[in-house]
Amino acid sequence: MGKVHLLTGTKETTTEYNLVRVNSAWTRKEKHSHTASTESVSPAMIYESLTDTGTCWTVVTPIIFSYKVIETHALLDPCNSTLLTGHTQGPQQADNMRIPKKPMKRFVVVDQEVYQIYGPEINKYFEANNVNFKILALPTTEENKSMEMALKILEELNSFSIDRRTEPVIAIGGGVCLDIVGLAASLYRRRTPYIRVPTTLLSYIDASVGAKTGVNFANCKNKLGAYIPPVATYLDLSFIKSVPRRHISNGMAEMLKMALMKHKELFELLEKHGQHLLESKFQSDSEVFGPCSQSVFRSTRLAIVTMLEELAPNLWEDDLNRLVDFGHLISPALEMRLLPALLHGEVVNIEMAYMVYVSWESGLVTEEEKNRIIGCMVGLELPVWHQACTMDMIQSSLQERLKHSGGLIRMPLPVGLGKAEIFNNTSTDVLISAHEKWSNELSTHAV
């Protein structure tokens, strides 16, 4: 482009520069000037603007993250190398790691309840693979999801000393564990790679596959955090068999969220096979589940793929119109108020049930569709109403929403089964009427 003259009241000349590596140094070259084939050209650019008042340099630098979400089986089998090398790019890098010049090191943070179940297997895995490792077992609950917990991890990580490029931190646990460890890793040496191993259905579907990390602060959910994805997430459904039934139901709320927003088939799978999935704990070889085993793989894969479709183009939430926010406008405040009585997915489902009534009152779903959705929720053993979700809380949460969403509500609502749109003009009258009908019809389901 070269030099561009802009008529904006003051005379301004802008020059575009590529950044070219010559030997060991980067240097500017005007765009479209000749570049030797042996020179490396950065995707970054510098725009230099000269005006009567001075010089302005604008740096445009693409930031690209690449991370893997890998389904695997028997992750803790010492013969399965995924946990150690699955994050590497290409077979050559993996081979190099298997024959290291120095002993492989891994710093592992495990939820303490998970460690009580899988501790011996985790230790055996690293010992069998000759890994120098340290395991930190912590009570990673929503009540402990704090900066203090992140700092404790950082202190232990610092004393263990790892290579911040080749020795990723490993987090094994539920969503809270994955969030805290992710934030700690993003802070250590400005960014240390980390790996997520979800052990609950909720984290398997939701927290493990995105880029968000965080801790609670000032009595607000995830008010401190960063968008730093893991280098890899390893999905092994065998962990789910040790999860209590209520926590299986809790995770299915996030699956239902994606079904209502994006995928009718997923909704129908949950509607038809929800009880079987609860009984089998998503174990395809379960005798309880029998001939319906394919629904395990189909339902979890649809939930993950639809989640990735929404997250991948918007990892940093630059676009505030997000279907994945369904059930997450009011629930953060409600969840903090009800801790520890209700789980995350349970609170999300309470809001989703209310929002289904908002859709119905707005004429976006039929009464039959509304009844099918609520029936599916009940079948999944999820709460559909709570007395703490008052109109005052709803209106307060939506006002708070305006502060953080560019002055618009951006309310995702179903417009049928497996279809959704985002609305900014839902009237107060509709919200109040929907709340009355929701309470009148569903308060008998109070938890």
Q: What is the pLDDT of residues 103-157, one digit of tens each?
A: 899 999 999 999 999 999 999 999 999 999 999 999 999 999 999 999 999 999 9
- The pLDDT of 252-256, averaged and rounded, is 98
**CATH code of domain 245-445:** 1.20.1090.10
DSSP state of 152: H
Q: What is the pLDDT of residues 389-398, one digit of tens each?
A: 999 999 999 9
What is the band of 32 on the pLDDT scale with cuts at 50, 70, 90? Answer: confident
Domain residue ranges of the chain, discontinuous segments joined by +: 3-60, 68-242, 245-445
Burial string for 188-210 (b: 16+ CB within 10 Å, else e) reads: beeebbbbbbbbbbbbbbbbbbb
What is the band of 52 on the pLDDT scale with cuts at 50, 70, 90? Answer: confident
Nearest CA to 316 out of 413, 203, 228 is that of 228
Does pTM top 0.85 for this prediction? Answer: yes
- Dist CA 321 CA 66 (whole Å): 23
Nearest CA to 18 out of 43, 49, 50 is that of 43
Tell me the pairing of strands 169-173 and 105-111: parallel
- Dist CA 161 CA 167 (whole Å): 10
**CATH code of domain 68-242:** 3.40.50.1970
Q: What is the pLDDT of residues 295-339, one digit of tens each?
A: 999 999 999 999 999 999 999 999 999 999 999 999 999 999 999
Q: What is the pLDDT of residues 346-390, one digit of tens each?
A: 999 999 999 999 999 999 999 999 999 999 999 999 999 999 999
Catalytic residues: 212
